[in-house]
Structure 1
């Protein structure tokens, strides 16, 4: 039975109060419709914030506490359906640096083939791949560990996800160069004394080239081969 205007108004107020109290919303067609209205309102408010720092703070302190209970309830239940709240929470978790939970929930979203928001041009696997690689690059440049999140995502890229060749090439290139890091974190074949590591790096870079012959790995591979020759002639 259709709700009256007054009933819809009261239901929306109740939905907003439930979210404000950081409680899970009930699962029903009416509830889900109201969820989407509230989610759209929250996303609009987020986009109105001009500074990246303010948006990250809003995601961490307001949006995630507001929406995670409802998503957790969905994940604990048996019903499966298109769930934008799950997708947005994955995005916000990545944006706030909650890598472990972001990847856990991303795995679910990808398995369920959840769609990204309309303003995103990529699929969920492509988004996760790009986001984790950007994070790993930043971590590596700062001399910080990229594990376990890099290897976890790289395994998915190699064994499960079908991604554009350019994304694959970037991942294999990064993985290969990462094995060549010197004490300053820079890729340098002459800094590596282990032939097996050099061969592993070369194999990764060769795969990057196979995905995209403009991936820019030729020079690094030449230096690896020269280093291997130098070590094996000793």
Structure 2
């Protein structure tokens, strides 16, 4: 039975109050409409912030506490539909560095075929791949571990996700060069004394070249081959 205007107004007020209190909403058409309208306002406010650090603070301190209960209710409801709240929460979790939950939810979002927001030009899988690779590159430069997030995402990229060849090439190139790092973090074949590691690195770089012949791995592969000849000759 359709609701009267008065009933719709009361339902909208209850939904708006639930959002303000950080409570989950039901999945009625009124609640969903309130969600999307409120989400759009929050996103516009977020975009109005010019400083990246301010945006991250807003995502961590305001948006995620407000919207996570809504996304959690969606996940527990058992119904699958395009849910912008869920998609934004996945993205914001990555942005604030909550990679464990972000990757867990990203797996679900990708399996469900959740679209990224309209202003994004990539799929959810491509967004996750680009985000984790950028994070791994930064961690590597700082001398920090890139696990378990790099390995987990690399497995998904190789075995599950359908991504553009250029994205895959970047991942395989990084994985190969990561094995060649010296004590300063610079990829250098002469720093590696294990032939098997060199061969694995070369295999990864070969796959990067197969995905994109402009990936720029030829010099590294030549140096690996020279290093393997040197080690096996000894």
Do these two structures clear the TM 0.5 threshold for a shared fold by scoring above it? yes
The match for 1:16 is 16
Paired residue for 1:38? Answer: 38
- Residue 74 of structure 1: CA displacement? 1.2
Distance 1:189 1:153 in 2: 25
Structure 1: runs of 5 or more not aligned: none
Q: Which consecutive unaligned segments of at least 5 residues does structure 2 have?
A: none
> Match for residue 95 of structure 1?
95
Q: What's the Cα RMSD here?
A: 1.2
Write the distance in 1 (CA, Å) between the matches of 2:114 and 2:162: 15
Which aligned segments of 4 or more residues in structure 1 are displaced greater than 6 angstroms?
Answer: none
Q: Could you say which residue in structure 2 is the equivalent of 1:133?
A: 133
1:189 maps onto 2:192 in alignment: no
2:149 alignment partner in structure 1: 149
Residues 57-93 of structure 1: CA distance to partner in whole angstroms, max 9, x if unpaired?
0000000000001111111221111111010001100
Q: Which residue matches 2:50?
A: 50
Q: Which moved more, 1:27-36 or 1:167-176?
A: 27-36
Q: Counterparts of 2:20 and 2:203 in 1: how far apart (Å)?
A: 52
CA distance in 2, matches of 1:13, 1:139: 46
Change in 2 beyond 3 A, CA 1:55/1:8: farther
1:106 aligned residue: 106
Q: Is the 8 A contact 2:177 2:201 kept in 1?
A: yes
CA distance in 1, matches of 2:124, 2:158: 16
Give the TM-score, by structure 2 length: 0.96
**Residue 207 (structure 2) aligns with:** 207
Conservation of the 8 A alpha-carbon contact between 2:125 and 2:161: yes
Shift of 1:20: 2.2
Following the alignment from structure 1 to structure 2, what is the Cα–Cα distance between the partners of residues 8 and 51? 39
- Total equivalences in the alignment: 233
- Structure 1 residue 9 displacement after superposition: 4.8
| Residues in 1 aligned to 2:119 and 2:4: alpha-carbon distance in whole angstroms | 31
